[in-house]
Amino acid sequence: MNVDSSIVVKSDILEKALDLLRNYVLCDNCLGRQFAYLGTGTDNRQRGAAIKLILTMEAHKMLEDGDVDRAKEILMTLAINGKCDAARGVLSQKFPDCAVENLKCEICGDFFENIENVVNRVLEICRNLDFETFVVGSSVHSSILNREDELRSKHDILFGESIKREINREIGKRIHKKLNKKFESKAPDVVILINLKQDFSVEIDVRTNPLYIFGRYRKNLRGIPQFPVPHSGQYSVKDLIVTPVLEITGGSDAIFHPIGLEGRNVKVLGSGRPFIVEVKNPKIRKIDLTRLEKIINDRSNGAIEVFNLRFSSKEELRRLKAKSRVFVNKYRVLVRAQDCVGEEQLKTLEEFFREIVIQQRTPTRFLGKSKDKTKKKVVYSVKANKITNDTFELLITCQAGLFVREFVEGDYGRTSPSISELLGVGCECLEVDILGVEFEPHS
């Protein structure tokens, strides 16, 4: 088998690399990146350094073979535009009078040569953050991207990768190694953003993704609003839950997401109402939920109680909100009628309200705040218990979103059919208690 021993500078890769270096100042990473998809088990810095070393060796051989001018030109190209120490070493030995300038890489501005400084800045920002997973993203000024695109177009580069991809990977590898944190692209605890600007300065932004905590609460007293009422000075369910959460997590803010709403005079009993707290910019993520639960309950002095706390996610919050219309609510309602109501009438209620679709126009109490529109909700069952001649208790199982007070009272005919309509007598809700919110549709 005959082998051509003079293939080095005839190699397409080496010819292109040398041509690139004759036209651009390129660090090892930015040269190697132009051939990123050739060869495995290495990185762009090693690719670029290897190419420069082989070219240096070939130029050295030319020099020894007497091709001085050509050898010197290649060595000077490698030493100046290639920033290659090996070529500089040969030059200083063979041509001691040659001056070699220290130029910045024209693509990255020596970002990759100084990458450890960038990583150290990231580590300093992350020093007081509690996280297990992270992702790195980058923004590179358009002038830098355009310069590299122009280089590739002129020199027919087909196997290069994006500079942003390399920045993300190289920063990510070092963060993982130094902090022993896991890379997670879908739902990371921390997002590290690297911004390489036009003048090659670097801005760093570290963002902590929200922490989500799921739970259920019971509201044992009437008169407590679900959300703060401006200028009332009264605490709310949100205050009682969110304030301890922020204290323990060190978050900057929190959003309270109850799955469904209730009025201030409605108790929430039984299996309680599910909720998710979304904590913004938490400094501490690994919190003791059992301790948090105790703190909330102790401070509430029985007004509310939380239970079944666990960590959640943005995806679960989206899923619960999307499905909330088909959830099933259970209510206990104490009703007073304007006339006597007999056992047979209550039995009629139970028999009629089985899988019945209720048409509800926007309640009169909300007109002016909400558009006047009609919605349909299903009442799955009603159980009635007589208490006195004119008072009775209803246990209502219905589709989430039903206005229960209007379903009982009729709201001047805006809700139909209603309890008042079927009994033929005016009715008033004295008490409303939520006994539970179930995630599964009624079957």
List phi, psi (to 5°) of 359: -100, 125
pLDDT tens series, the chain, 443 aa = 444 444 344 578 999 999 999 999 999 999 999 999 999 899 999 999 999 999 999 999 999 999 999 999 999 999 999 999 999 999 999 998 888 889 999 999 999 999 999 999 999 999 889 999 999 999 999 999 999 999 999 999 999 999 999 999 999 999 999 999 999 998 899 999 999 999 999 999 999 999 999 999 999 999 999 999 998 889 999 999 999 999 999 999 999 999 999 999 999 999 999 999 999 999 999 999 999 999 999 999 999 999 999 999 999 999 999 888 889 999 999 999 999 999 999 999 999 999 999 999 999 998 888 888 999 999 999 999 999 999 999 999 999 999 999 999 999 999 999 999 999 999 999 999 999 998 875 55
Strands in 241-303 per DSSP E: 253-258, 266-280
Cα separation, 420 vs 408, whole angstroms: 6
Predicted pLDDT at 287: 96
Residue at token pair 């509310």: 304
Predicted pLDDT at 5: 41
This prediction's pTM: 0.78
Residue at token pair 């039984």: 270
Cα separation, 228 vs 381, whole angstroms: 33
Structure tokens at 322: 């999307």
Cα separation, 123 vs 328, whole angstroms: 48
**Sign of the C-alpha dihedral computed for residues 414, 419, 421 and 425 taken in this order:** negative
Predicted pLDDT at 7: 39
Residue from 118, 99, 121 nearest 29 by CA: 118
Predicted pLDDT at 99: 83
Predicted pLDDT at 1: 41
Dump the DSSP string for 116-133.
Answer: HHHHHHHHHHHTT---SE
Structure tokens at 303: 């007004």
Q: What angle do CA 18, 23, 25 make, to 5 degrees?
A: 90
Contact 221/267 with Cβ under 8 angstroms?
Answer: yes
H-state helical runs in 353-437: 404-409, 419-423
Cα separation, 366 vs 360, whole angstroms: 12
Question: Residue 422: which residues within 8 A CB-CB, separation 6 or more?
Answer: 348, 349, 352, 353
Residue from 54, 59, 73, 178 nearest 115 by CA: 178
Contact 433/269 with Cβ under 8 angstroms?
Answer: yes
Contact 350/383 with Cβ under 8 angstroms?
Answer: yes
Contact 261/321 with Cβ under 8 angstroms?
Answer: no
Distance of alpha carbon 376 from its chain centroid, rounded? 34
Dump the DSSP string for 319-332.
Answer: HHHHHGGG-EEEEE
H-state helical runs in 24-67: 28-32, 44-64
Predicted pLDDT at 272: 95
Q: Which amino acid is at 207?
A: R
Using omega within 30 degrees of 0 as the cis cutoff, is the peptide bond preceding 258 cis? Answer: no
Neighbours of 443 (CB within 10 A): 5
Question: Domains in the chain, start-ordered, CATH in brackets?
Answer: 12-94 (no CATH), 115-208 (3.30.2130.30), 211-324 (3.30.70.2510), 327-438 (3.30.70.3190)
Predicted pLDDT at 443: 55
- CA distances 265 to 108, 167, 268, 419, Å, are 63, 56, 10, 21
Cα torsion through 432, 435, 440, 443, rounded to 10: -80
Structure tokens at 332: 């206990």
Contact 148/167 with Cβ under 8 angstroms?
Answer: no
CB-based burial label for 171 (10 Å; 0-12, 13-18, 19+): buried
Predicted pLDDT at 442: 56
Q: Are strands 415-416 and 304-311 parallel, antiparallel or unpaired?
A: unpaired
